[in-house]
């Protein structure tokens, strides 16, 4: 079992005793069904990913971006997965696994609402009751996803402690799980949490790099010089990197949220960023040893990002390990640059990206020389959920953006 | 079965132990000192003193709120150690906290500096709800070095190999979780308690039952079921919270805590007498 527990010094299983048997049961199910394809689990998963999920997603050559940055830019279009983000790959895998395990109920946490939406969809698809925990701040800034979850029959439970973001939602879901563990599966939303979650989620998400690796060889005739992805917990990052980790010539860049500043306010317990890989220290949170935003006492900091899905004080243990090993390069992009990138991609490529994804494009804009001649950027999700936030945040700032965000006056007056 | 002589002595007495919990610094430093001392006056045999962590995933709403109040009033690990030194009680204190605070403390890596400091201020052991036996070797080693105890929690779901692993590692006492879920006072006593106690019947270490105990009658019932001690947190934290919300004086709240402590301790003692009768001795 130990080989599915740790990544170098990171990972492990730091959870209340009541959860340990469930985690052992899950480890066993993961090894049998996912790794060994018992009862044809992986075949069914692949088939459902194709028919329900819309896979494979295209690897699209981006003409405008390639011209602008004088490098061949390929977009891995996870925004075209059903639900609008890579999150479905994992959610579908875990809900199906829960079904194979004979569980009766699904719970999940969500930040941006994309994981909650994906889980609600997968649960409806596989006929399982589902409850989602979501922070009050995130409910406010990702309203469309709240409605989508409810439409799919899931219950959305607001979490009001702390700042009301992903960190608090994860703690709350773990509390639910500690009470209901015998019948309930917790579909964790990223490559975080106690083992085997980080391994299992990476395994479900690695379909991204499996496809991308084959597609880029076909389309560009070679492997890329770099793969760039945004990192909150790190699931789309690990999914996009997994099959390239052994290709030493491919640079892997994980782009975090630089927020409004990389500094921290220890006194207030607040980091105005979510740049865990760049600025965090080793510690233990939500079941794993990993890099964290914490004060010198070990209290966890409130993080910040304009994008709810990156707003988390922790990061996946495997990613922390790969950064220490020098295999993955951590980078960060601030709120303003992410918003500008959001507008740029929308206008120039006709793709409205999630604000999370926009961070990866912010990196391309700031470091076009660092990505080599051929780069793959993971478009982790689409930005429909973010429109309200983008309008509000763009108006609030002095950005280099030329777009009309006003309401049509006549229409507004006549209530049309 | 105890590294620490003071903690060991508690369970060698011929009566069940009453083990209350409060979060240090709830709602503020000075009041909290009074409250912990009131528990000692009320008959506490061991006190589990919470060191507040920002993400207390094993706690229900009651203790979670206590932790928020304590953190907002400025509780930190260093203040906590001062708090322990300032306390005027003659009862062994066990530190209840989460692993990140233990791991992060002091110079160098790992739990040793925290444990050294804890021994220095006179703590007798630890309960760390997010540290299962599998991850506990470094803390276990530091506890052995400084004669402190490491208490593990047996959950209603704990069985088989996990029980064996815990049996090898546990010292001081074993914390028997009376029901699934997070901490919080309840109105009944769970049947899961009997099953959990039965599973560790032949362990040499004393067994203290917690999670949901609220009244003297619950305490009696649990001791009758075979527990060597009872652990009570949320029912006491509720008294602190209510007093704080109503603006009651520190003395008033301390008196209530002392009275509640007496009720719980008396319940435990009554339970022991009843099972002695039932056994015919
Ligand atoms: C579209 C999108 N991209 C990225 C993320 C970040 O999460 P992760 O780093 O786990 O992929 C999220 C999280 O909600 C998301 O919705």
Q: How far apart are the first and last CA of chain A?
A: 61
A299–B101: do the CB atoms touch at under 8 Å?
A: yes
Mean pLDDT score of chain A: 95
Q: How far apart are CA A130 and CA B53, in angstroms?
A: 30
Helical pair A87-100 and A197-205, crossing angle rounded to 10 deg: 120
pLDDT tens digits, one per residue of A350-370? 999 999 999 999 999 999 999
B132–A15: do the CB atoms touch at under 8 Å?
A: yes
Res A405: pLDDT? 78
pLDDT tens digits, one per residue of B116-128? 999 999 999 999 9
Q: Which residues of A touch B200 (CB under 8 A)?
A: none
> Per-residue pLDDT for A157 more than 80?
yes
Cβ atoms of A262 and A274 within 8 Å: the answer is no
A-contacting residues in B 166-195 (Cβ below 8 Å):
177, 180-182
B12 to A264, A385, B3, B279: CA distances (angstroms): 50, 62, 14, 20
Q: How far apart are CA B255 and CA A58, in angstroms?
A: 70
Query: In which band, very low, low, confident or very high, does the pLDDT at B1 lie, cut at 50, 70 and 90?
Result: confident
B48 is catalytic: yes
Q: How far apart are CA B237 and CA B243, in angstroms?
A: 10
Query: In which band, very low, low, confident or very high, does the pLDDT at A5 lie, cut at 50, 70 and 90?
Result: confident
Q: Which residues of A touch B180 (CB under 8 A)?
A: 18, 178-182
Query: In which band, very low, low, confident or very high, does the pLDDT at A414 lie, cut at 50, 70 and 90?
Result: low
Greatest mean pLDDT among B187-201, B241-255, B264-278: B241-255
Q: What is the 3-state secondary structure (H, E, C) of B165-231?
A: HHHHHCCCCEEEECCCCCCCCCCCCCCHHHHHHHHCCCCCCCEEEECCCCCHHHHHHHHHCCCCEEE
Atom 16, ligand 1: residue with shortest CA distance: A114
Res B189: pLDDT? 72
- Which run of H or of E encompasses A115? helix A114-125
Of residues B48, B107, B116, B277, which has the active-site annotation?
Answer: B48
Res B278: pLDDT? 84
The residue whose CB lies within 8 Å of the most ligand 1 atoms, and thus the one to mutate among A88, A356, A383, A385, is A356
Res A1: pLDDT? 42
| A258 to chain B, closest Cα gap in Å | 23
Pocket-forming residues, ligand 1, beta carbon under 6 Å: A 85, 87, 111-112, 114-115, 190, 230-237, 309-310, 354, 356-357, 380-381
pLDDT tens digits, one per residue of B170-185? 999 999 998 888 888 7
B157–A296: do the CB atoms touch at under 8 Å?
A: no
Dihedral of CA atoms A329, A199, A163, A87 in degrees, nearest 10, equals: 90
Q: How far apart are CA A140 and CA A146, in angstroms?
A: 9
Dihedral of CA atoms A44, A50, A52, A57 in degrees, nearest 10, equals: 140
Three-state DSSP state, A409: helix
B181–A161: do the CB atoms touch at under 8 Å?
A: no
Strand partners, A318: none
Q: What is the DSSP string of A302-321?
A: B---SSGGG--S---HHHHH
Indicate the residue of A13, A162, A171 with minimum beta-carbon distance to B57.
A171
Using the structure block, give the residue that is written with the tokens 């990993």. Answer: A290
pLDDT tens digits, one per residue of A273-290? 999 999 999 999 999 999
Backbone dihedral angles phi then psi of residue B116, each to the nearest 5 degrees: -60, -45
Query: Mean of the pLDDT values across residues B184-207?
Result: 87
Query: Mean of the pLDDT values across residues B261-279?
Result: 94
Give the residue among B268, B265, B267 at the shortest CA–CA distance from B257. Answer: B265
Is A20 at the interface with chain B, CB within 8 A? yes
pLDDT tens digits, one per residue of A62-80? 999 999 999 999 999 999 9
pLDDT tens digits, one per residue of A114-153? 999 999 999 999 999 999 999 999 999 899 999 999 999 9
Query: In which band, very low, low, confident or very high, does the pLDDT at B46 lie, cut at 50, 70 and 90?
Result: very high
Res A2: pLDDT? 46
Res B186: pLDDT? 79
Q: What percent of chain B has pLDDT over 70?
A: 99
Residue-level length of chain A: 416
Could you tell me where the beta strands, DSSP code E, fall in B118-173?
125-127, 149-151, 153-154
Give the residue among A232, A246, A252, A241 at the shortest CA–CA distance from A356. Answer: A232
Q: Which residues of A touch B169 (CB under 8 A)?
A: none
> Per-residue pLDDT for A91 more than 90?
yes
Is B131 at the interface with chain A, CB within 8 A? yes
Cβ atoms of B172 and B10 within 8 Å: the answer is no
- Give this complex's ipTM: 0.95
Q: Which of A209-218, A391-400, B54-63, B272-281 has the lowest mean pLDDT?
A: B272-281
Strand partners, A294: A300
């Amino acid at each position: 079992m130990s080989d599915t527990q740790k990544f170098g010094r990171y990972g492990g299983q730091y959870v209340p005793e009541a959860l340990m048997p469930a985690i052992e049961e899950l480890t066993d199910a993961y090894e049998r069904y996912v790794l060994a394809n018992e009862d044809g689990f992986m075949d069914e998963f692949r088939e459902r990913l194709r028919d329900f999920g819309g896979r494979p997603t295209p690897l699209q050559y981006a003409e405008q971006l390639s011209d602008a940055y004088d490098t061949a830019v390929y977009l891995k279009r996870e925004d075209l997965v059903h639900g609008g983000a890579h999150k479905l790959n994992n959610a579908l895998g875990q809900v199906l696994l829960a079904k194979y395990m004979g569980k009766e109920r699904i719970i999940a946490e969500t930040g941006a609402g994309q994981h909650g939406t994906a889980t609600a969809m997968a649960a409806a698809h596989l006929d399982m009751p589902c409850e989602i925990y979501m922070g009050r701040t995130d409910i406010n800034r990702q309203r469309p996803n709240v409605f989508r979850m409810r439409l799919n029959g899931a219950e959305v439970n607001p979490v009001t402690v702390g700042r009301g973001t992903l960190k608090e939602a994860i703690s709350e879901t773990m509390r639910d799980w500690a009470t209901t563990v015998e019948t309930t599966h917790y579909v964790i939303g990223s490559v975080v949490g106690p083992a085997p979650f980080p391994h299992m989620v990476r395994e479900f998400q690695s379909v991204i790099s499996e496809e991308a690796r084959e597609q880029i060889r076909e389309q560009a005739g070679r492997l890329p010089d770099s793969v760039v992805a945004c990192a909150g917990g790190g699931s789309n990052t690990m999914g996009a990197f997994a099959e390239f980790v052994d290709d030493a010539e491919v640079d892997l860049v994980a782009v975090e949220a630089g927020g409004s500043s990389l500094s921290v306010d220890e006194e207030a317990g607040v980091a105005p960023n979510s740049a865990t890989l760049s600025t965090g220290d080793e510690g233990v949170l939500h079941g794993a040893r990993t890099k964290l935003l914490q004060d010198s006492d070990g209290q966890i900091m409130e993080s910040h990002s304009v994008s709810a899905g990156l707003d988390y004080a922790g990061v996946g243990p495997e990613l922390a390990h790969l950064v220490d090993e020098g295999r993955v390069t951590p980078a960060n992009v601030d709120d303003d640059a992410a918003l500008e990138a959001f507008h740029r991609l929308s206008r120039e490529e006709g793709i409205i990206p999630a604000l999370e994804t926009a961070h990866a494009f912010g990196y391309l804009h700031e470091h076009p020389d660092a990505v080599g001649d051929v780069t793959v950027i993971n478009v982790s999700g689409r930005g429909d959920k973010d429109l309200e936030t983008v309008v509000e945040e763009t108006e609030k700032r002095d950005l280099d953006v030329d777009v009309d965000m006003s309401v049509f006056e006549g229409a507004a007056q006549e209530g049309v | 079965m105890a590294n620490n002589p003071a903690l060991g002595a508690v369970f060698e007495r011929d009566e069940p132990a009453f083990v209350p919990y409060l979060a240090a610094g709830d709602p503020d430093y000075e009041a909290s000192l009074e409250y912990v001392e009131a528990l000692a006056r009320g008959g506490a045999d061991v006190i589990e003193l919470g060191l507040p962590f920002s993400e207390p995933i094993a706690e229900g709403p009651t203790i979670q709120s206590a932790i928020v109040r304590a953190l907002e009033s400025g509780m930190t690990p260093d203040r906590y150690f001062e708090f322990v030194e300032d306390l005027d009680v003659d009862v062994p204190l066990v530190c209840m906290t989460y692993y990140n605070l233990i791991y992060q403390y002091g110079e160098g890596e790992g739990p040793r500096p925290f444990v050294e400091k804890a021994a220095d201020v006179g703590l007798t052991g630890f309960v760390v709800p997010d540290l299962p036996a599998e991850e506990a070797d470094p803390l276990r080693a530091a506890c052995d070095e400084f004669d402190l105890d490491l208490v593990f929690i047996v959950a209603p779901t704990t069985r088989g190999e996990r029980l064996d692993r815990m049996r090898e590692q546990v010292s001081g006492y074993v914390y028997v979780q009376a029901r699934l879920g997070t901490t919080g006072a309840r109105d009944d006593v769970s049947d899961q308690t009997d099953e959990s106690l039965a599973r560790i019947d032949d362990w040499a270490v004393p067994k203290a039952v917690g999670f949901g105990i609220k009244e003297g009658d619950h305490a009696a019932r649990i001791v009758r079921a075979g527990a060597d001690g009872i652990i009570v947190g949320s029912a006491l934290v509720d008294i602190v919270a209510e007093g704080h919300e109503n603006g009651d004086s520190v003395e008033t709240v301390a008196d209530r805590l002392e009275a509640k402590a007496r009720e719980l301790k008396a319940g435990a003692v009554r339970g022991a007498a009843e099972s002695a009768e039932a056994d015919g001795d």
